[in-house]
Amino acid sequence: MKAVHLSRKLVLEAATRVPDGAGGYTDTWAALGTVWADVRAGYGREREGVAATISYVTYRIVVRSSPVGAVSRPKPDQRFREGMRVYQIVAVTEFDPGSLYLECFTKEEVSA
């Protein structure tokens, strides 16, 4: 197991649906708390979007573990925010045999 360096401060956010007044809804993001993380870049990809090229980079983000069901435990479809950077959480698993840390597989998208 690689050493974990929790050196970056991230905000864990979850989407909430708010009615838009026309029968639909809008997703807004609410902060659930702040975590210290070890952020490591993976691979990058690029694809053509409708109006622009979209590139993304995968990241493996390691944070301290939280009990299953706790608000502070990251889940897929949540995200981490670091200033203007946003990391969408794709999957979460235990990082170590003692379950002291969680490993979050994420991606950061950028439109060009």
pLDDT at position 12 is: 97
Instruction: Dump pLDDT digits (tens) for 35-89.
Output: 999 999 998 888 777 777 778 899 999 999 999 889 999 999 999 999 999 999 9
Domain residue ranges in the chain: 8-111
Has residue 99 got a pLDDT over 90? no
Buried/exposed code over 45-69 (b: 16+ C-beta within 10 A; e: otherwise): eeeeeeeeeeebebbebbbebeeee
Top-tier CATH class for 8-111: mainly beta
> Could you tell me the pTM of the whole model?
0.85
pLDDT, averaged across the chain: 90
